[in-house]
Chain A
Amino acid sequence: MASIGKIARRTFLIGSAAIVGGAAFGAWYVGRPAPNPLKPGSGEAALTPFVLVTGEGVTLITPRSEMGQGTQTTLAALIAEELDVAWEDVRIMHGPPAAAYYNSALLHEVIPGKGYDQSEFMHALAEYVGRVGKVMEMQITGGSTAMKDAYERLRVAGATAREALKSAASARLGVETARLRTENGQVIAPDGTAIPYTDLASDAAKVDLREPELRDPSQWKYLGKAMPRLDMVGKVTGTAAFGIDTRPEGLKFAALRINPKRAGMRNFDASAAESMPGVEKVVDLGNGLAVVARNTWLAQQAVDAIDVEWEDAPYPSETAAIFEKIAAAFDKKPNSTMRNDGDADAMPEGATEVTAEYTVPYLAHATMEPMNATAHYTGDALTVWSGNQAPTFTRDHCARAAGLDPAQVTVITPYLGGGFGRRGEMDFSVYATKVAVAMQGTPVQLTWSREEDMRHDFYRPGAMARMRGAVRRGSAVLLDAQVAAQSTSQQAMNRWLGISPGGPDKGHVDGLFNAPYAIPNHRVRGYLADLDVPVGFWRSVGASFNAFFQDSFMDELAHAAGADPLDFRLSLMRDEFPAGAGVLEAVRDMSGWGGTKLANTGRGVGFSYSFGTPVAQVVEVIDEGGTIRIARVWIAADVGTILDPGITEAQMIGGCIYGLSAAVNEEITFADGAVEQMNFPDYDALRMHNTPKFEVQLLENNNRLGGVGEPGTPPAAPALANALFDLTGTRARQLPLSQSFDLLL
């Protein structure tokens, strides 16, 4: 059997090798059921890895973490819909690290192809390759995949459990299962006899499970409706436990200081810190220090009092030099040519050429809850409480840091105070583990200051694009896009799994190569910058910058062609991707696009297809006495099947605000090898007073279930930049926009 490393190299990035990699496992290995990690006690039944029935009630196991998108609520709804549990009785638990909870949809993204034009064959292939994720124990929350992964799987889990409970009731009552029905956590016989599931647990555990039939969506009670979120009451009463709220008996608190230049330490002097009030221990982490004290604040004071001499950064120490390296990537061989239609080298006869170069900065995730984790090491066991997006990888990395076997490590995943990709990393859990090992027998919570969090992120890579296009008779006839940036996938795979995948990086050009415009001569090439600035997955990943390049340039082409920017896009998309055209038409109609233009007002449209979901946004900006305010945004998204309209709307608005915040005012810069931004005053997002009003329309014409958590982000930056062009006549080709415009901050 091929090693995991080899499979990962073959599958992570696209190309025909992905298919070979999947097949190398053999269908038997990939297809066999993963063991059920739940260990029910006597009188309890774990009917599938997702349904646990005990004497007290039914607990639904959600395989993904809750970082704010409402994922766990909709995952529970998928199970409860088939299981027939009353919503007020639904209890959920985050699944422990286990292969059974692998994310089958994450690897779908590695399949070649643009996505929106996927054939049944390619879809089936993606399903197959996705199952390799089980072998790799890829229990990951990310990539807007939770629902794609769970849509069938969790409904089947609920239905399987329901049928097992009915079989148990059938044996007890002597009534055929076909004559039994289920409602509100009970099996009900034709004579009205009702047996609660809790009474049937032991018997149901002995039933042979069989493939159930799923209900037709027309019968759904929960799915398709805005369900009350299961985490809402806890989150508005301060009783929901985030990672930072973990309070085991005897807990000590620690603070962190790591080399801001992302290298090691030459030397340090901690003598002053050691004698400060409440201090228990100074821990040398190799690339920085932690101080354990009676409370976090005392620990923070002490760690700040340590004299340290840091080693130099492994990347150019100034922002300008970093971007020179990014620009230099254009001179190398492209890493990918994911689209190459027609002849992009030739200039179509009679066409007008347009060229432009764009630049976007590095960005931090800046989750509201700073990085933290709590760990308790006893010598032969380790428990880690960590709000993380990847429990299996977290378990393995912490085991290694503690010198334990993964089986000796328990990972508990409380709520995440924001993730956006940052909590897919293992660093915060590993640092806490190292501190706990130094404090054997005492649980320790390691909390990062906001400054540590801001300066030790895995940043959205800075990126540049060189765009060349041509228009003729009101339409685009050529688009030749080149993007240069660091490869997030390569760096992250190396950190997570210790492998450096080669091959084309699809995420790097996502949002460009699969922009669903039918342009006859269309080429997209990606160039990887050779840099060691720490980069990571940031909400919407490559599409976060590529949509800005793509859809700002579409606007430039439309203006060069003398066409209305929205009609220009629409005519290139209508046949290529009808669901994409549908969202453009929806925002056109909602916003009254093309009507009388008010004085001091500008409007722009942005479109992006990412994570399976086309989203269009129209942004309206108003000049109010020299200061420009983002007044309104209209959003249309087509997610194929709307599993929860309330949560989907919240994600579309929240995703857009995340994108607008970055476009307006966020930038990570480097000086002397360290990130210059320290805290929210240097890296601020939109707030109540400068957040626009929103109107959202959700459509269901797309032929596949699309993602929800990320697709709202990419169109925001181009829509805003295009609106500012409409208002001022100035084309912004660099973010953040507050550097070029007087925006309301």
Chain B
Amino acid sequence: MATTLTINGKSHDVDLPEDVPLLWVLRDEIGLTGTKFGCGVAACGACTVHIDGQAVRSCQVSLGDVWGDVTTIEGLGTPDAMSVLQQAWVEHQVAQCGYCQSGQIMQAASLLEQNPNPSDTDIDDAMQGNLCRCGTYPRIRAAIRSAAAKMEG
């Protein structure tokens, strides 16, 4: 049975069993590879996308359960038209291996959407589900602060 998804404003018909996680639909069926597979058990945050603006782990959302419009990192901004948050990531030269950064940015985007001026504790609370093995956390924090300041201003 085909399921219709709206991803980054575009409609996609997917003919797959309904228990296939959204992560694999995005990566292997639709070809949106910006969303990453890290653990498959919602322990690392690399697969974070938005559903109706809310950050979710796409490895835990079955195709049949997708309840709204999906936004992936590709929908947040493009190399020629980056979002303010992505620009802050570039300004602070955050990424090292870069594999977790799609998820980090999607998580941070959702944080700033709900809380435009987060404290350090707010950042800790929102971001601690996103693992980075390269240790980019100090620059992630700086980029979130800098983006928050720009969005406020």
State whether B95 touches A658 (Cβ < 8 A): no
Assembled-state Cα–Cα distance A420/B74 (Å): 28
Chain B 41-58 per-residue mask, 1 if CB under 8 angstroms from chain A, else 0 = 101101000000000000
Contacts of A245 in B (CB 8 A): 33
Contacts of B96 in A (CB 8 A): 68-70, 650, 654
Assembled-state Cα–Cα distance A646/B102 (Å): 22
State whether B133 touches A368 (Cβ < 8 A): yes
A232: nearest residue on chain B (CB-CB)? B90
User: Nearest Cβ distance between residue B68 and chain A, in whole angstroms?
Assistant: 20
Identify which of A295-303, A485-493, A503-511, A518-526 touches chain B: A295-303
Given known A-B contacts A238-B74, A238-B102, A369-B36, A680 and B93 have beta carbons under 8 A apart: no
Instruction: Choose among A69, A278, A369, A653 the residue that contacts B99 (Cβ–Cβ < 8 A).
Output: A369
State whether B79 touches A239 (Cβ < 8 A): yes
> Which of A232, A294, A681, A684 has the largest count of B CB atoms less than 10 A from its CB?
A232
Given known A-B contacts A277-B17, A650-B136, A653-B135, A688 and B90 have beta carbons under 8 A apart: no
Instruction: Choose among B31, B95, B131 the residue that contacts A236 (Cβ–Cβ < 8 A).
Output: B95
State whether A236 touches B36 (Cβ < 8 A): no
Within 8 A of A (CB), among B9-53: 16-17, 20-21, 23-25, 27-29, 31-41, 43-44, 46
Is A366 close to B, CB under 8 A? yes
State whether A237 touches B41 (Cβ < 8 A): no
Identify which of A104-112, A378-386, A390-398, A689-697 touches chain B: A689-697
State whether B138 touches A694 (Cβ < 8 A): yes
Chief secondary structure at chain B's binding surface: loop
Is B113 close to A, CB under 8 A? no
State whether A367 touches B128 (Cβ < 8 A): no
Instruction: Choose among A236, A244, A416, A688 the residue that contacts B128 (Cβ–Cβ < 8 A).
Output: A688
Within 8 A of B (CB), among A359-385: 366-370
Assembled-state Cα–Cα distance A679/B40 (Å): 9
Instruction: Choose among B79, B82, B93, B123 the residue that contacts A646 (Cβ–Cβ < 8 A).
Output: B93
State whether A68 touches B134 (Cβ < 8 A): yes
Given known A-B contacts A450-B40, A654-B134, A237 and B128 have beta carbons under 8 A apart: no
User: Nearest Cβ distance between residue A275 and chain B, in whole angstroms?
Assistant: 14
Is A656 close to B, CB under 8 A? yes
Within 8 A of B (CB), among A105-133: none
Contacts of B25 in A (CB 8 A): 295
> Which of B33, B89, B135 has the largest count of A CB atoms less than 10 A from its CB?
B135
State whether B37 touches A237 (Cβ < 8 A): no
B95: nearest residue on chain A (CB-CB)? A235
Assembled-state Cα–Cα distance A226/B139 (Å): 15
Instruction: Choose among B39, B43, B134, B141 the residue that contacts A418 (Cβ–Cβ < 8 A).
Output: B134
State whether B37 touches A370 (Cβ < 8 A): yes
Is B127 close to A, CB under 8 A? yes
Within 8 A of B (CB), among A226-253: 226, 228-229, 231-242, 244-245, 247, 253
Contacts of B27 in A (CB 8 A): 295-296
Contacts of A233 in B (CB 8 A): 79, 82, 90
Given known A-B contacts A368-B131, A370-B38, A241 and B99 have beta carbons under 8 A apart: no
Given known A-B contacts A295-B28, A450-B39, A689-B124, A658 and B133 have beta carbons under 8 A apart: yes
Instruction: Choose among A69, A237, A241, A694 the residue that contacts B73 (Cβ–Cβ < 8 A).
Output: A237
Indicate the size class of the contact surface on chain B: 35 or more
Instruction: Choose among B44, B76, B138 the residue that contacts A691 (Cβ–Cβ < 8 A).
Output: B138
Is A447 close to B, CB under 8 A? yes
User: Nearest Cβ distance between residue B103 and chain A, in whole angstroms?
Assistant: 9
User: Nearest Cβ distance between residue A66 and chain B, in whole angstroms?
Assistant: 8
Given known A-B contacts A295-B28, A450-B38, A416 and B74 have beta carbons under 8 A apart: no
Given known A-B contacts A236-B86, A236-B89, A296-B37, A653 and B138 have beta carbons under 8 A apart: yes
Contacts of B78 in A (CB 8 A): 237, 239
Assembled-state Cα–Cα distance A70/B136 (Å): 13
Contacts of A241 in B (CB 8 A): 33
User: Nearest Cβ distance between residue B63 and chain A, in whole angstroms?
Assistant: 10
A246: nearest residue on chain B (CB-CB)? B33
Assembled-state Cα–Cα distance A655/B41 (Å): 26
Within 8 A of A (CB), among B73-121: 73-74, 76-79, 82, 86, 89-90, 93-102, 105
User: Nearest Cβ distance between residue B97 and chain A, in whole angstroms?
Assistant: 3
State whether B82 touches A237 (Cβ < 8 A): yes
State whether B135 touches A691 (Cβ < 8 A): yes
A647: nearest residue on chain B (CB-CB)? B93
Assembled-state Cα–Cα distance A686/B137 (Å): 9
Is B7 close to A, CB under 8 A? no
Assembled-state Cα–Cα distance A277/B74 (Å): 30
Contacts of A687 in B (CB 8 A): 127-131, 137
Contacts of A234 in B (CB 8 A): 79, 98
Contacts of A277 in B (CB 8 A): 17
Chief secondary structure at chain A's binding surface: loop
Is B125 close to A, CB under 8 A? yes
Given known A-B contacts A297-B20, A450-B39, A417 and B98 have beta carbons under 8 A apart: yes
State whether B135 touches A236 (Cβ < 8 A): no
User: Nearest Cβ distance between residue B8 and chain A, in whole angstroms?
Assistant: 11
Is A584 close to B, CB under 8 A? no
A234: nearest residue on chain B (CB-CB)? B79
A680: nearest residue on chain B (CB-CB)? B43
Contacts of B128 in A (CB 8 A): 687-689
State whether B34 touches A680 (Cβ < 8 A): no
A418: nearest residue on chain B (CB-CB)? B97
State whether B33 touches A247 (Cβ < 8 A): yes
A447: nearest residue on chain B (CB-CB)? B37
B72: nearest residue on chain A (CB-CB)? A238
Is B140 close to A, CB under 8 A? yes
Instruction: Choose among B31, B35, B86 the residue that contacts A237 (Cβ–Cβ < 8 A).
Output: B86
User: Nearest Cβ distance between residue A115 and chain B, in whole angstroms?
Assistant: 26
Given known A-B contacts A237-B34, A239-B79, A693 and B138 have beta carbons under 8 A apart: yes
Is B132 close to A, CB under 8 A? yes
> Which of A237, A654, A689 has the largest count of B CB atoms less than 10 A from its CB?
A237
Given known A-B contacts A226-B93, A241-B33, A231 and B98 have beta carbons under 8 A apart: yes
State whether B93 touches A229 (Cβ < 8 A): yes
State whether B24 touches A296 (Cβ < 8 A): yes
> Which of A68, A656, A658, A684 has the largest count of B CB atoms less than 10 A from its CB?
A68
State whether A68 touches B38 (Cβ < 8 A): no
Is A634 close to B, CB under 8 A? no
B46: nearest residue on chain A (CB-CB)? A368
User: Nearest Cβ distance between residue B40 and chain A, in whole angstroms?
Assistant: 6
Assembled-state Cα–Cα distance A691/B16 (Å): 41
Chain B 134-153 per-residue mask, 1 if CB under 8 angstroms from chain A, else 0 = 11111111000000000000
State whether B97 touches A415 (Cβ < 8 A): yes
Is A198 close to B, CB under 8 A? no
State whether A297 touches B21 (Cβ < 8 A): yes
State whether A244 touches B36 (Cβ < 8 A): yes
Is A601 close to B, CB under 8 A? no
State whether B133 touches A366 (Cβ < 8 A): yes
Assembled-state Cα–Cα distance A450/B28 (Å): 17
> Which of A67, A236, A369, A420 has the largest count of B CB atoms less than 10 A from its CB?
A236
Instruction: Choose among B40, B95, B132 the residue that contacts A229 (Cβ–Cβ < 8 A).
Output: B95
B98: nearest residue on chain A (CB-CB)? A235
User: Nearest Cβ distance between residue A60 and chain B, in whole angstroms?
Assistant: 20
Is A436 close to B, CB under 8 A? no
State whether A295 touches B29 (Cβ < 8 A): yes
Is A78 close to B, CB under 8 A? no
- 26 sample A-B contacts, Cβ–Cβ < 8 Å, listed by A number: A228-B90, A228-B93, A232-B90, A232-B94, A233-B79, A236-B86, A239-B78, A242-B98, A253-B28, A278-B16, A294-B28, A295-B27, A295-B29, A368-B36, A368-B132, A369-B97, A415-B98, A450-B41, A679-B39, A679-B43, A680-B41, A686-B135, A688-B123, A689-B124, A691-B137, A691-B138
> Can you name 15 extra interface pairs (CB under 8 A) apart from A237-B73, A418-B97?
A236-B89, A236-B105, A237-B34, A238-B74, A238-B102, A295-B29, A296-B24, A298-B20, A368-B100, A369-B38, A450-B41, A661-B133, A680-B39, A685-B131, A686-B137
